[in-house]
A and B are shown apart, each in its own frame.
Chain A
Amino acid sequence: MTARIGVVTFPGTLDDRDAARAVRLGGAEPVALWHGDHDLRSVDAVILPGGFSYGDYLRCGAISRFAPVMTEVIDAARGGMPVLGICNGFQILCESHLLPGALTRNSSLHFVCRDQVLRIENSATAWTNAFAPGQEILVPLKNGEGRYEADQSTLDMLEGEGRVVFRYVGGNPNGSRRDIAGVCNERGNVVGLMPHPEHSVEPLTGPSLDGLGVIASVLAALTGTAPVGVGKVTA
């Protein structure tokens, strides 16, 4: 059975088509989900894609958090369903308190758009198990409010529990604390990152094919061929 991976469209979402295409190229069935529906259409996993949902008025992701579909996404995430937030989707997951911390204005005040090297710091999550620990990948990054902020105790907890999933290599593009590009929840089923693996799935449009590993990971997690968890904390 082909895994069904939902991609949510909010008003102002930009990368839903790219995320759906990445899902298809990765061997799964993309399912369009609508912000205004209380319905996940029996999907096995959910991607919250990038963009500027609800215009990003107030704060990035702050209004989307209260969209009808997020009630179902939050419940499913707490129940263990794999959920990936990319860029604006990461901001929404933080505003929803599914992930700790918050994304704030880039320290440079510039919108940054470039290909970015990331190190896979945790290869045991639902969305990174197809990568090798410490593997470096190259994916596009494009944001104006991507500076990851959390208080010291939260940062120490994330580091100690192996919940920093992606870290910037070769220069911190936005002033994120401890070069953090992406984090996960305690169970490792909810992952968020600012850079865009869904754009690195074909030679025509991306700098690598590394993004396919994210889809391969969730397929492995869904079929039970890869254990999902936060690897470094296993006693």
Chain B
Amino acid sequence: MARVVVDVMLKPEILDPQGRAVRGALGRLGLDGVTDVRQGKQFVIDLDAELTDEAVALLHEIAGTLLSNPVIEDYVLHTNPAESPT
């Protein structure tokens, strides 16, 4: 049993109109000081297996082929999500 987390973000050079809209909303709320917002996706994946090297390789394939499009997005695979800052 294992849980991993994959974060997918648009590459920095790709325009993110959703994040821009969120930033605009913050300004209208009077919440100042935010210079930029980028919006992404998070996938929480439960495996019926231990996190072997093979399993990690499979997860990278999943993240790089289906969960993200390498033309416009980068992904980060967290194999110890409990240790990640919240």
Contacts and interface: CB of A to CB of B under 8 A. Distances in A.
B72 interface: yes
Given A102-B71, A149-B71, A149-B72, A66 B66 contact: yes
A109 B21 contact: yes
A108 interface: yes
B66 A104 contact: no
B80 interface: no
Nearest to B13: A151
What secondary structure prevails in chain A residues at the interface with B?
loop
For chain A, give the interface size range: 20 to 34
Interface string A118-147: 000000000000000000000000000001
Contact of A58 (B10, B14, B21, B66): B66
A151 B69 CA distance: 13
Nearest to B67: A58
B15 A109 contact: no
Given A62-B66, A104-B72, A149-B72, A175 B15 contact: yes
Interface in A141-168: 147, 149-151
12 contacts: A58-B66, A63-B66, A94-B71, A101-B71, A104-B14, A104-B15, A104-B72, A107-B17, A149-B14, A149-B15, A149-B72, A175-B17
Interface of B: 10, 13-15, 17-18, 21, 66-67, 69, 71-72
Interface of A: 58-59, 62-63, 66, 94-95, 100-102, 104-109, 147, 149-151, 175
